[in-house]
Amino acid sequence: MILNIRPVLSAIKRNPTGALLVGLQVSITLAVLVNAAWIVHQRVVKIEQPTGINTRDTFTIAVSGSAKQFNAGAAETEDLAYLRSLPGVAAATVADGVPLTGNGGDTTVWLQPGHRGRFVPSAEISMDIEGIKTLDVPLIAGRNFRPDEIVPYVPGKIAPSASEAIVTQALAHALFPHGNALGKTIYGAVPKTIIGIARNFMGPQLGSPVYNTIIYPRLPGQGNYYMLLVRTQPGRRDAILRAAKKHIAASHRYGVIVYTQTFATANSLMDSSNRNVAILLTLVTALMLGVCCLGIFGLTTFNVGSRTRQIGTHRALGARRRDVVTHFLLENAIILAGGALLGAILALVIGEWLTTHYALPRLNLAYLLVGIVALAVVGELAAWQPARRAARIPPSVATRTV
């Protein structure tokens, strides 16, 4: 069978606006489809980014003093001793921030004293000696804090800054791209020595860079407020959380439990915004693709309807059903090709715009190619049914007057 382009082209020419409009739909859909898929991919990557901490067995209890009489230092020491004595508790620490929640401090780490030179943004979190053990984060290099390095809490005083720090691999690399960060001094309010490098984990900050975190050996208690992070042995989390909550609520005359939360909840909350954006994008894009297909379906149906006599005449003159189907699919393919060409350009433009305005990585061209192929297949499928219906038009309609 010969693919005859000429009659197909002249058919398109008869309703050029219709073809143009479908082509336009195809192009916008392609551009959005490709970029939406790209964004969804980025979001999924974010969701799949490892937290680096044990989120399964860990929970938080936040405690606040309710009067001046509350001694946060004594209370947290007491709570820690209690928690560590509980069978089934793997590790426990006090902290002034909670990873994965956005609850915690931000800081700027400097390479030179007096806030000069290069600086790197980072999250900061003060914990005691069991801090990294509680988060289940292994040290890559260096050592953990020693008990004598932990800066104690003094009532009525904000604890003075510590002079040691453990940093994540990511922060170490950001600070010292070429050298070993271990033993180096970094600067903030006071100078600190990096004594350990921890495997990457997500700190309290929700924005990027997610893996930049610095840990200080310090017992918090500022504002009569502290958080207890507890990791249990597998499977014991909920029971221990219940017991600890009950015990701590009863043990402080001037203190109350503000809230408790498992890390699993915090993690799913953190993922949920990425997941939801991904869901919404996918949904709208799918609808768009659907509408685009309906457009193709509509145009082909219309063309078949308004050319019934003509198709009948062709059939009477010897065209096979296959030829009729091919005619309409070819006509649709030409429109799709035009739309895809425009859409590809549009997709690249939008991709570029997203890169500059939303700090998205540059669009992967493979996405564009896959998008074009997918749209071509779906688009031809949309034209398939009306084309088949055209093929079923009997040759006799040519002789019947309409």
Partner 1 sequence: MLGYYTRLAFKSFRRTPGLTALMVGAIAFGIAACIVTLTVHHAMGRNPIWWKNNVLYAVTMDSWDPHQPYDPPHPNRAPGQLTYRDATYLYGSDIPKRKALLSFVTGTLSGAPGQAAPVWTMTRITNAGFFHMFDVPFEYGGPWSAAADQGPEPVIVLSRRENEKLFDGRNSVGHTILWNHLRFRIVGVLNHWDPQPRFDDLTGGGGGNFGRPARAFVPFKWGPALHLFPNGSMSCWAAVNTYRELLGSNCVWILMWVELPTRAQRQRFLDFMNAYWAQQRTMGRFQRPRNNHLWKVSQWLRLHHIVSNSSRLLLRLAFAFLAVCLINTVGILLAKFLRGAPIAGVRRALGATRRQIFAQHLVEVAMLALVGSAFGLLLGLGGLAGVRALYAHSYSAYGKVAHFDLIGIAWALALAALSTLVAGLYPAWRIGRVAPARYLKSQ
Footprint on this chain of partner 1 (rule: CB under 8 A): 15, 17-18, 21-22, 24-25, 28-29, 31-32, 36, 39, 64-69, 102, 108, 114-116, 119, 121, 156-158, 160-161, 189-190, 206, 222-225, 249, 254, 256-258, 268-270, 272-273, 276-277, 279-281, 284-285, 287-288, 291-292, 294-295, 297-299, 301-302, 305-306, 358, 402
| CA angle 65–70–74, rounded 5-degree value | 105
Residue 209: CB minimum distance to partner 1, A: 13
Residue 17 beta carbon to partner 1: minimum distance, rounded to whole angstroms: 6
Separation CA 189–CA 124 (nearest Å): 13
Min dist CB 199 to partner 1, Å, is 26
Q: How far apart are CA 384 and CA 333, in angstroms?
A: 11
The least CB distance from residue 366 to partner 1, in Å, is 22
Angle, nearest 10°, between helix axes 263-306 and 308-316? Answer: 60
Q: Which of these, 378, 400, 352, lies nearest to 293 by C-alpha position?
A: 378
Cis, peptide link before residue 209, omega less than 30° from 0: yes
- CA 177 – CA 245 distance, rounded (Å): 44
Nearer to partner 1, 234 or 302 (CB): 302
CA 236/CA 58 separation, integer angstroms:
10
Nearer to partner 1, 240 or 346 (CB): 346
Query: Distance between terminal CA atoms of the chain?
Result: 31
Q: How far is the CB of 306 from partner 1 (least distance, A)?
A: 6
**Would you say 192 or 327 has its CB closer to partner 1?**
192
The least CB distance from residue 264 to partner 1, in Å, is 12
**Of 142 and 338, which CB lies nearer to partner 1 in the complex structure?**
338
When the beta carbons of 322 and 353 are compared against partner 1, the nearer one is 353
- For residues 194 and 164, what is the distance between their CA atoms, to the nearest angstrom? 6
Q: Which is nearer to partner 1, 180 or 306 (CB)?
A: 306
Nearer to partner 1, 35 or 326 (CB): 35
> What is the DSSP annotation of 72-130?
HHHHHHHHHHHHHHSTTEEEEEEESSBTTTTBSEEEEEEEETTTEEEEEEEEEEEE-TT
| Closest approach of partner 1 to the CB of residue 110, in Å | 9
- What phi and psi values does residue 105 have, to the nearest 5 degrees? -95, 155
